[in-house]
Each structure stands twice: as C-alpha cells, then as structure tokens.
Structure 1
Amino acid sequence: MKFDKALVYRIRGVRTPLAAAVLLGALAALLIIAQAFCLSSIISGVFLGGRTVRQVWGTLLVLLSVIAARGTLAWSSEVTANRAGGRTRTELRERLVTHLFALGPAYIKGERSGELVSVLCEGVEALDPYVSQYLPQVVLAVLVPTILLAAIFWIDVPSGVILLIVTPILPFIMAVVGMMARAETKRQWRSLGLMSAHFLDVLQGLTTLKIFGGSRRQVEAIRHTSDRFRRTTMRMLRVAFFSSLVLELGATISTAVIAVEIGLRLLDGLMPFQQALFVLLLAPEYFLPLRLLGARYHAGMTGKVAGQRIADILNTPVAVSQPPARPSLSQFIAGGTIHFERVGYIYDGQRPALHDVSFDIQPGKKVALVGPSGAGKSTVAHLLLRFIEAERGAVLVDGTPLEKIPVQQWRKCIAWVPEHPYLFHATVAENIRLGCEQASLSAVIEAAQLA
C-alpha cells in the first residue's frame, strides 16, 4: 500500500505546528534579504565609499538585529516542527496499540511479533524526522528560493535568469538519486523487520533451543541476519553520501557560475559593487533550502517506507462489528445459554477451521473441547472472545446473536485464561488487577484464594 500523507495530517495538533514552521521559515527568508542588503551596504560604504564605522553604525546595528532575529526564527521553526513530530509519535503509537488490541490474536497470530515490535518502535520513530524535518523542508525548498529569486530579479535580471536556468538541475539530480535510494531504503527496512522478528523468536524459544542443543545454530543465524542488515544499511548510506556529494557539487558549481558572471560584469563596469555583492550573498542562500532537502530526503524516505507498514496495519479492518451499547443486555449476558448453531469459519478464505459445529454451554456447567491440534479449539475461543465472527451459522446468547452484543459489554462478562498464561514484570497484585485496576487489596486477596 502506498504511504498516504493524510495518515499524518489527520493527527490532532500536527497541521498547525507544521504550518507555523513553514511560516517562520518564510519570514526567515525575508530576513536573509535584509541581511544581504545591510552587509553589502556596509562593505560597499566602508571599502569603496570611505565611510567610517561611526557612519555605518546604524546599519551595523540593524544587521546585528536581523542576524539575531533570523537565528530566533530558525530556532522557533525547528522547535515548532519537533513538537509536531512528537505528537505524531505519541498518537500513532497509541492508535497502533489500540488497533492491534482490536484486531486481536487472530490477526497477530499471522504476523511475526518481532516485526510488529519493530514497527511500534523504530517504525513510529522513523516518522518523527519525516514530519519534523522533511515535510516542512519540502515546502520551504519551493517557497524560500522563490522569495529570494524575486529579490534577485528586482536587483539584477541577468543573474535571476541564470539562477532560473540552473535551478532545475538540482531537483532532477534529487529525483534520479531518489529512485536509487527508495529501493535501498525498502530493502533496509525489510531487513530490519526480519532481523527483529528472528531475534525475538530466538529469545522466546531460548529455553527450548538450549534443551535440544540448537542455540549455537541460532547464534550463526543471528550473525548472518545482522550482517545482512549491516550490508543493506551501508548500501543505503553510500547512496545517501553520493547524493549529498552530487547536490553539494551542483550547488557549488551553480554558485560559481553566478560569481563568474557577476565578476565579469563588475570588471567591465556594467554592475555596481553593492548590487553585485548583494546578489552574490543571496546566491548560496538560494541553493541552501534545496541542499537541506537533499540532506533530509533520506530521513523522509525512511519515514515513508515505515509509514507504509503502519498504514497497512491501521487500514486492516477489525473482524467484528461494533453495535451501540445496550444497558439492558447486561442482565442476561452473564447467565445466558450460549448456543453454537452449525458454525463455520475459514481462515484467509482457504483453510477451513470449523465446519457445522453445534453445541450448547449451559450456565454453571463445565464444557471441555477435546481434539488434536488444528481441530478448531482456538477458533472457538476466538469466536467466544469476539476476535473473529462466524462466516456461517450463528453463535447465540439466550437467542440473541453474539454479533448484536457490544464487544465491551460482552468481554466484561468473560474471564479468559490462555493456554500459556503470562505474568508481566510487575507484582502479583498488579497482575491480578489487570482485569480491574480499581480492585482493593482485599478483593485481590480473595481473587487469589478463589483461583
């Protein structure tokens, strides 16, 4: 799936900081013009006009004020953009965790947990520089050169024409290098996901590996996987450094062309010194946003690749319906008879898990599901927990279809102990309180005794 920028723009409180960062950058461009004008005026007045420092003191104070204001605007723009990046990280991670919980184990079972952890950690972190650096710079790379080009055209038309001619070279170089970088970035991200998934799988099965003497083989496998990730990372870095070299070279040559053109006209007396110096000071600033975009392009590309995987997860539909809450249902849910009526379910549209399964679960009775691995016991549990819905037949609670009961109301009436219970890194009391965080200590002790 292609990365959709709306994934970022729909996050609360992101659009305004990004717009503010761009606005501050545009104001800084106006200060660049003022800085170049003041500096060229001072140098021209002192070295050619014979003015003293006292005579240019007012202009010098203005120059110092402009430099300070430009630095303040640059700092404010960066802080504002970083705030947008922080909000993106926080909200996307919360949305991912919430959606994964809603998808349930039926979805997670088909994924590698290490890869999902990598998406939640490194993937979300990769979107921070994409939002805080790349997105504002894309706009500034167009806006700032346009403002400076207008000022250069106003002062000296020939220099503006030359800049207008050489400018498309840099975006063309970025496009060519970007096609190379995109493939390397995807390859590196895929390699990172495989390494994370494999490493976590090994950690989870470390005891089994030790028992059967397979730990040494996995050491070699981890070494091979990490070495493959190192090679893909180095290839991506080579592309990044090469693109930076080409962009710097292109910007330097373009600035040199402007300098030579201005120098020749200055020697022939066709251009005043202050005007020539003003244009020459603006030329490097004109190419600076494009160079910064090239430097941040690879961070943006990594964010795009990570964002594609995040979008894939968030766009995965939840398998169960969400009817509105009905308080009247709570009275009979806990004491109702659960009836499976010719229930059928097929995984991925191909692998049948249940076929015409019918049975009753009476209140207060114990029912055991017995069968070989793959017989559908876990599928029945997933149906009861509302992680999936029956494709054929019906699951009824006192005659009410299970899908008509709100998920949260239904799950409040169910206690679930998995095949392999997991104790989180907390106290025993905190583990018991997972189902009811407000439970008192006496209630926790009573629950432990009943268990």
Structure 2
Amino acid sequence: ILKNAISYLNVAVLCVFYGRLSHALRIGVFRSILNRPLAELEREPVGRFLNVLTTETWRATDAINSLFTIVTSTSTIVVFLTLLFLLSWQLSAVALACTALIPPLVHLINMRVKRMSRVALAANEALAQQTWSSLNALRTIHICGRSAAEVLRFQKSSDLVRRRFLRMALISAGTAPVTEVLVSAAIAVIAVLVSNTGVGLATLVGFLAILLRLQPRILALVSAQANLLSHHGSVVAVGEALAASRAPSTPDGGAPFTALRDGIQVRDLTLLYPGTSRPVLSDVSLTVKRGTMVAIVGSSGSGKSTLLDVLLGFQRPTRGEVLVDATPLSKIDLKSWRSRISVVDQDPYVFD
C-alpha cells in the first residue's frame, strides 16, 4: 500500500509540475508576442505564433520530461557501472568493449531524429497557418463555394504533418530495439568469454545479474535521448519566441503625452521596409493643425496605412521625423501617445 501511495504521489506531483510548466511557457510566449514591435509581427506568419502557443509549448514540456528521464537513468547507470567494476574490473572492461558500437549507432539515429524535428516543426507551422487562414475566411469560402477546395488544401497540409511525424517516430523508435539487440549480444559474448576464465561462479552470476538490471536503464536512456531530440525543433521555437525583442514602449528620456496644443508636423519622411530598395514613403511632408480635419487620399498601396503606422509609432522612418508640438515623436512615451489617439482601422476586429 505504501509503495502504491508513493508511486501515485510521484505521478501526481509530476502532473502538477508539467501542467504549471506548460502554463508558464504559454503565458511567457503570449506576453513575448504582445511585447514585440508590431512591424516585426506583421512580417511573420500568424500560423507560427499559433503553432508555438498551442502545440510546441506542450512538446517543449515533454522535452523536460525526457531530460528528467535522462538524468535519472544516467545516475542509475553510473551506480550499476560502479558495482560492476567493484565486482570485476576485467569483466567490466570486456563489457564496455562489447558495447562500444552502441553510442555511435545511437548517435547516427538521433541526428536524423533531430533533423526531422525541424522538418516536422515547419509542417506544423504550415498547418496552423492554413487553419488560421481558412477559419478567418469562412464567409468568403461559403460565398464563393470553395468548401471542397479548402478541405482538399487542409487535407494535404494535415497529411504532410502526419507523414513528417510518422517518419520521425519510426526513426526515433529504432533506438530501443537496436540498443537492446546490441546489449543482449554483448551479454552473450561476455558469458562465452568468461566461461573459460577463472572467474568464480558467484562473481559471474552477480555480474550478469547487475548487467541484466542495467539493460533496461540503458534502453530508457537512449529512448529518452531520442525523444528529447525529436522535440528539438519545438524547444528551439519556444526559446526563440521567449527571447524575441521587445517593443520600445518608453524610449530613454521619453516624455508622457497629455494633450495636443499646436499640431503634428511630418518632415521629409522616407520609409523603406527591411530587405527592400523601393521606399514605401518618399520625402513626405505635411502639417496637421490642432482642431482641423485632413484627408489623405491615394490608390491602394500608395502608403496611406504606412503613414498612419508611422504616426502611431509602429514604424520608424528611415529618414525624416514626426514632430508633435515641435517635440520629436521618438522622444515621447508611446503608450501615453497612443492612449490619446482614436483609430478606426480599415479592418475592424470584434473581440470575443
């Protein structure tokens, strides 16, 4: 009864720990996304964020579980190896020589698993992006009669995820049988080699008994290593999301904005998006006096929304500046500035 109670308590504690860890990862990733500059977020697919939040945080938690298994299995293996050397260092040397092929073979398998984890991550992100796009376009899909075509697109993306993870699982599952066969062969070789030596029967039986107890720990270790590497892509994705740059909400020396007294002036403003040579805005200048109404008219793609992004502080101009009551916008606290602005966007969003 005591053994089962302790075992249940151990499982319960681990469940609570992993639940809290995955919760903390989701909160951390979500906070990091909201704190990033809007200009950076708009350059990345939404599916990447959705996949990290809903899927990769759980897989990163599973990676921690595999890491714990590696630590406990390694500790047990060290204890068993110490006992083997205390019984007979000669037999221990023979055992190590017979199992010398295991690490390089397992390493080759694990490297393939690690590469496949990155491929599987990309497939998961593509599926999340496809899901997000389709669910946000349900009205358009029904109006245009595109349901069958969208189901086919989703089916292809989902099947790609299935094939990627199946291949990774099959490769990862190969570590345990390969290791078990090699360890069993090593035990058989050791038994044959020592049959003609002067090792005492009691020593031989004890040595083989410990070696047999060591076998499942080795299998657990290599399986945990394979599982850990299969989650490599997830851990990297979560780590990158947590380490992403933060938006400068309050620049050094930023002054709080309370009210507009004179007006807003845009001077020789030019903006180029990263990686492009053609400016979205080129030498734009305008003055908006307090209490006046200004309409900015232009064709689609002429830079109207980009100019609004600059005025809101979401984009920083490549050249030129925005002055608010003769104070550069870069010197004003952005949170207080935005809190005094009312915006009706071209794509209104209703929160649930």
| TM-score for both structures, normalised by structure 1 | 0.69
The secondary structure found in structure 2 opposite 1:352 is coil
- For 1:89 and 1:175, locate their aligned partners in 2 and report how far apart those are by CA, in whole Å: 29
Match of 1:271 among 190, 200, 210: 200
Q: Give the paired residue count.
A: 351
* C-alpha deviation, 1:84, in angstroms: 5.9
Task: Determine if the alignment matches structure 1 residue 92 to structure 2 residue 25.
Answer: yes
* C-alpha deviation, 1:171, in angstroms: 1.9
* C-alpha deviation, 1:82, in angstroms: 6.1
Contact 2:249/2:335 (<8 A) preserved: no
Match of 2:296 among 369, 373, 376: 369
Instruction: Name the residue aligned to 1:146.
Output: 78
Letter in 1 for 2:106: M
The answer to which of 103-112 and 184-193 deviates more is 103-112
Letter in 2 for 1:398: D
The secondary structure found in structure 2 opposite 1:341 is strand
Unaligned runs of 5+ in 2: none
Instruction: Name the residue aligned to 2:339.
Output: 412
Q: CA offsets per residue over residues 188-212 of structure 1, 9 Å max, x none?
A: 2211211121122112112112222
Contact 2:256/2:337 (<8 A) preserved: no
Assess, with a 3 A threshold, how the Cα gap between structure 1 residues 235 and 335 changes in structure 2: closer, same or farther. Answer: same
Match of 2:311 among 384, 389, 397: 384
- For 2:256 and 2:38, locate their aligned partners in 1 and report how far apart those are by CA, in whole Å: 26
- For 2:21 and 2:48, locate their aligned partners in 1 and report how far apart those are by CA, in whole Å: 20
- For 1:160 and 1:79, locate their aligned partners in 2 and report how far apart those are by CA, in whole Å: 39
- For 1:321 and 1:349, locate their aligned partners in 2 and report how far apart those are by CA, in whole Å: 25
* C-alpha deviation, 1:346, in angstroms: 0.9
Instruction: Name the residue aligned to 1:38.
Output: none
Instruction: Name the residue aligned to 2:96.
Output: 164
Assess, with a 3 A threshold, how the Cα gap between structure 1 residues 217 and 244 changes in structure 2: closer, same or farther. Answer: same
Task: Determine if the alignment matches structure 1 residue 112 to structure 2 residue 41.
Answer: no
Match of 1:342 among 259, 265, 268: 268
- For 1:360 and 1:72, locate their aligned partners in 2 and report how far apart those are by CA, in whole Å: 74
- Map 1:8-19 to 2 at 5 A: none
Assess, with a 3 A threshold, how the Cα gap between structure 1 residues 385 and 89 changes in structure 2: closer, same or farther. Answer: farther
Rg larger in structure: 1
Contact 1:321/1:403 (<8 A) preserved: no
- For 1:283 and 1:380, locate their aligned partners in 2 and report how far apart those are by CA, in whole Å: 72
Letter in 2 for 1:237: A
Contact 1:320/1:388 (<8 A) preserved: no
- For 2:31 and 2:261, locate their aligned partners in 1 and report how far apart those are by CA, in whole Å: 30
Unaligned runs of 5+ in 1: 1-63, 426-451
* C-alpha deviation, 1:161, in angstroms: 1.3
Assess, with a 3 A threshold, how the Cα gap between structure 1 residues 417 and 290 changes in structure 2: closer, same or farther. Answer: farther
Contact 2:257/2:333 (<8 A) preserved: no
* C-alpha deviation, 1:382, in angstroms: 1.9
The secondary structure found in structure 1 opposite 2:145 is coil
Instruction: Name the residue aligned to 1:192.
Output: 124
- For 2:262 and 2:313, locate their aligned partners in 1 and report how far apart those are by CA, in whole Å: 16
The answer to which of 383-392 and 293-302 deviates more is 293-302
Contact 2:262/2:289 (<8 A) preserved: yes
* C-alpha deviation, 1:79, in angstroms: 6.7
Instruction: Name the residue aligned to 1:25.
Output: none
Q: CA offsets per residue over residues 374-394 of structure 1, 9 Å max, x none?
A: 111221222222222112111
- For 1:163 and 1:79, locate their aligned partners in 2 and report how far apart those are by CA, in whole Å: 38
Assess, with a 3 A threshold, how the Cα gap between structure 1 residues 220 and 118 changes in structure 2: closer, same or farther. Answer: same
Higher relative contact order (CA 8 A, sep 6+): 2
Letter in 1 for 2:116: E
- For 1:86 and 1:142, locate their aligned partners in 2 and report how far apart those are by CA, in whole Å: 25
- For 2:120 and 2:133, locate their aligned partners in 1 and report how far apart those are by CA, in whole Å: 20
What percent identity do the matched residue pairs reach?
24
- For 1:188 and 1:288, locate their aligned partners in 2 and report how far apart those are by CA, in whole Å: 29
- Map 1:293-308 to 2 at 5 A: 293-308=221-236
- For 1:178 and 1:336, locate their aligned partners in 2 and report how far apart those are by CA, in whole Å: 66
- For 1:414 and 1:204, locate their aligned partners in 2 and report how far apart those are by CA, in whole Å: 28
Q: How well do the aligned residues superpose, as a CA RMSD in angstroms?
A: 3.1
- For 1:212 and 1:279, locate their aligned partners in 2 and report how far apart those are by CA, in whole Å: 74
The secondary structure found in structure 2 opposite 1:173 is helix
Contact 1:88/1:127 (<8 A) preserved: no
The secondary structure found in structure 2 opposite 1:387 is coil
Match of 1:127 among 53, 60, 65: 60
Contact 2:264/2:325 (<8 A) preserved: yes
- Map 1:394-405 to 2 at 5 A: 394-405=321-332
- For 2:275 and 2:229, locate their aligned partners in 1 and report how far apart those are by CA, in whole Å: 35
The secondary structure found in structure 2 opposite 1:390 is coil
The secondary structure found in structure 1 opposite 2:104 is helix
Letter in 1 for 2:177: L
Letter in 2 for 1:286: L
- For 1:389 and 1:246, locate their aligned partners in 2 and report how far apart those are by CA, in whole Å: 57
Assess, with a 3 A threshold, how the Cα gap between structure 1 residues 242 and 360 changes in structure 2: closer, same or farther. Answer: same
The secondary structure found in structure 1 opposite 2:162 is helix
Task: Determine if the alignment matches structure 1 residue 288 to structure 2 residue 216.
Answer: yes
Contact 2:36/2:247 (<8 A) preserved: yes
| TM-score for both structures, normalised by structure 2 | 0.86
- For 2:238 and 2:289, locate their aligned partners in 1 and report how far apart those are by CA, in whole Å: 42
* C-alpha deviation, 1:117, in angstroms: 0.2
Task: Determine if the alignment matches structure 1 residue 360 to structure 2 residue 287.
Answer: yes
Letter in 2 for 1:271: G
Q: CA offsets per residue over residues 293-323 of structure 1, 9 Å max, x none?
A: 2222343123321232334444443464742
